Structure 1
């Protein structure tokens, strides 16, 4: 008999002038209008430019090797400094390699200050691979910067301090994150910075304009840094790839590429992929119709993230090593009831294992050359047998959307873990009851393979309960159901537990005990970093 278990809570303007670039034209007005529409369509937390900045900044990688900009260095055994501790300077006696390791873990400003301790410390900082995050060069809380509070940033001071650090350190550069500089006002310095980054072999680079003007052209010198392993670009217009800068020699070591609020056309995106022969992760964050048609051609990519963005089409043309395609909040609603759907085309992607969130109202699924819709007769050439983890997001209150659930499930016959997120329907058009699900024909993945189902954002609606009963009755290999509530209020939790309790006695197809877990929605658990982490087997599972 199924067991009902209650789990604890988990919560998760004006455009500035800028230099014209000879490397490419300004973007067409359509790009800027599309971005404005995208911002309007985002949920309340992201309906301003600062909101978009928050999205982008939270998706940027953390500078290595330290994960916090708060630290201290004490040179005495008792914890006091040279002026107040009174103890022996034992740290300075440590081997040079260990001192270098210590300095590398300090924020850049503190690391540079160690040079005044002694001649030996001066040599340590100068020879330690540079880890620079310009957030650490400013006198405001790190949290304010990460939240996109641009008005609190002294942009001139940030740029000046970046220049001092880059010119005073002899390299190599391990990691440089520049997110606090208005690049338009410091345009003459950009080529100099990029030349230093290239000369000193920077491996991990975040290069963000903060953030006006929105159509500032990215310096083409960025294509002359072959040492890069990770590159994130934010708030730029891509200048186009010159003919001489094409080929696998451009980014021979690049494994991770993030394009955040970038204006780029399909040809240049394809060129970037061809310039990166070992690329594993491609992230498109807060981009709106730029490019409108995303065609993935890469024999090395393992992860593609389309995060809070818009496009007419995402096509996996040739991606034989692709493990996961993550689609999160691909917005479709605009002022004036203008709607956009994204066509998701799965071509040659034989290793695709993780896919989601597919949404019937936002995504039109195409497999091979067949558009999947209600009434499509299934055959082997219309399925993706490699997918083992599938995530779907559906409005159960919209009948035509909910009816596509079994259609989508038939496209992935070997799914083992199924995630279903219930989305709120503000204008319901007819809900599906248990009779509808009784009449649904065979679904191979439920019959033979699905052993875990996670139902996110449960609201206690009859249509949701009907779907859960359908799963219990059809999933013969089912071992666990996890129900994640949409509200953490205790009265709500008690009410939802009462509604779910009858499922413990419901008819079931599986001979194994089914564990029904009631958990509280964790808003911070599902994140860009979890979705992009290839070491996480199931990026949707945080329960």
Structure 2
């Protein structure tokens, strides 16, 4: 794309700025270039028209990806800009995203609310959306949108839907059905337990479900033949509202990922009960906020109450630990004996206290068996090189024969050759039992995104 951007408007395809360079991108067929343009942010897609004569018609004839977020500098200009795009674009809109909640929350007048309300009404009724595949609407509790009526019109064609910051009433949800929907996100939505279950049941092809900071219900029961991923985030901000307390996976034969996404600082307690999920491979739970049951076996905090029970399907475990404990992790490996990846999210202050994690061979090998450590990947956030952390990780360096990658999340100020050299020595990386293992120190922050 950089080469294409350097071309003069009059250059023929395949000729660079100096007349001799080859522009491979412009040699691609129009339909393929159109698919690429559709994947770009709205502004960037529109800007491709100035690259060269060959590109001038491509954006307007490509499926439209219209994201209203950040489209204009002043919100007063948004209704006119979006309306012009919808009426003038030659190809149908494939993706439409509008976030009025963020747009209107600061300093909006009543006239602006009314004008934006009318604009959204016009957009969502537009014929340009008749073939829409992905819809994202973040509204405002101040605006009176009959959102379900709009969604109902599009429900038979939508494949991705994100609904945020609105009320979904029982009377409007009852008739909704999404035969092709594969991904559904409900964010800061007020919905009753009955309507939520009705909505999920009306998505027979649903693969990914996110329930983020939504309220009005206490329990979610999952019975789905298609779901592969579930993420839930319970927020404590909604006072005097029903909040999610229990997630029951009754029958989910395709479920592979189950993620409790709350952050420690504002998390709410959640009881997760897994009755039937034979393909569950990835699990994230919070030690202080999650109680999780697999049949009769219960994990409360970081303690497994049944020493003989095992869950063999889980291969990836993401868990937060305020106090890094080798014995605790060994117990979890006993409960999840096929675990291949362990991602430990540490508190910012967890490195200041905790056990020494010294290796006691007889006790710990009795727990896991002789050198029977299935872990291939270990990620530790907030690595500081404390004695507790070094002892914890050294155990796996010297004993995990299948280890392939160990990643340490460090602070930027610790990213010096002296610090890294000292940690390599302390961790005894030269003596690793897995000669193919790689060790990666990174200052990149691990963003737990949905």
Whether TM-score is above 0.5 comes out as yes
1:282 aligns with 2:214: no
Distance in 2 of aligned mates of 1:75 and 1:505: 56
Q: Offset at 1:127?
A: 5.5
Unaligned runs of 5+ in 2: 14-27, 105-111, 237-243
Is this contact kept in 2: 1:172–1:201, CA < 8 A? yes
Cα distance change on mapping 1:341 and 1:473 into 2, 3 Å: farther
Q: Kindly tell me: are residues 453 and 74 of structure 1, through their superposed partners in 2, closer, same or farther at Cα, counting changes over 3 Å?
A: same
Q: 2:332: which partner in 1?
A: 408
Equivalent pair of 1:390/1:417 in contact (CA under 8 Å): yes
> In the TM superposition, what whole-angstrom CA distance separates every residue of 1:235-282 from its partner, at most 9, and x where no partner exists?
223333647514xxx211111222233333433332222121111122
* Alpha-carbon shift at residue 519 of structure 1 (Å): 0.8
TM-score by length of 1: 0.63
Residue 278 of structure 2 is matched in structure 1 by 350
Select the structure with the greater relative contact order (CA < 8 A; seq sep ≥ 6). 1
In structure 2, the CA distance between the partners of 1:461 and 1:105, relative to structure 1 (3 Å rule), is closer
Picking from 130, 137, 150, the partner of 1:207 is 137
Q: How many residues align structurally?
A: 411
**Structure 1 residues 219 and 197: CA distance shift in structure 2, 3 A:** farther
Equivalent pair of 2:397/2:428 in contact (CA under 8 Å)? no
**Matches of 2:230 and 2:327, distance apart in 1:** 28
- Change over 3 Å in CA distance of 1:404–1:203 after alignment to 2: same
Give the corresponding residue for 1:48. none
Match of 1:391 among 314, 318, 322: 318
Alpha-carbon distance, 1:206 to partner: 1.6
* Secondary structure of 2:170 counterpart: coil
Distance in 1, Cα, partners of 2:32 & 2:6:
16
1:498 aligns with 2:425: no
| CA displacement 1:158-183 (0-9 Å, x = unmatched) | 12322333344465221212235549
The 3 A distance-change label for structure 1 pair 428 and 343 is farther
Q: Which moved more, 1:102-111 or 1:458-467?
A: 102-111
Q: In the alignment, is residue 77 of structure 1 matched against residue 11 of structure 2?
A: yes
Provide the rounded CA distance (Å) in 1 between the counterparts of 2:136 and 2:80.
18
Shift in alpha-carbon separation, 1:421–1:103, aligned structure 2, 3 A = closer
1:515 and 2:443 aligned: no
Give runs of aligned pairs for residues 91-130 of structure 1, distance below 5 A.
Answer: 111=46, 128-130=62-64
**Alpha-carbon contact 1:396-1:425 (below 8 Å) kept:** no
Kept after mapping to 1: 8 A contact 2:117/2:145:
no
Using the TM superposition, give the Cα deviation of residue 341 of structure 1 relative to its aligned residue in structure 2, in angstroms.
2.5
- Give the Cα–Cα distance (whole angstroms) in 1 for the partners of residues 281 and 133 of structure 2: 29
Q: CA deviation at 1:327?
A: 3.5
- Alignment pair present for 1:461 and 2:386: yes
Q: 1:131 to 1:481 in 2, by over 3 A?
A: closer
Do structure 1's residue 443 and structure 2's residue 368 form an aligned pair? yes
CA contact (8 A) 1:217 1:237 kept: no
Q: Which residue of 1 aligns with 2:229?
A: 303
* Aligned-pair CA distance for 1:107: 6.8
Deviation of the 1:101 alpha carbon: 6.4
Q: Write the deviation string for residues 104-134 of structure 1: whole angstroms up to 9, x where unpaired.
A: 57876785997xxx9xx88x87764333222
Deviation at 1:434, TM superposition (A): 1.4
Q: Could you say which residue in structure 2 is the equivalent of 1:331?
A: 263
Partner residue of 1:176?
96
Q: Distance in 1 between matches of 2:278 and 2:369?
A: 19
Confirm or deny: 8 A CA contact 1:409 1:443 kept in the other structure: yes
Deviations 1:87-116 (A, max 9, x none): xxxxxxx998689669757876785997xx
Tell me the residue number matched to 1:194: 124
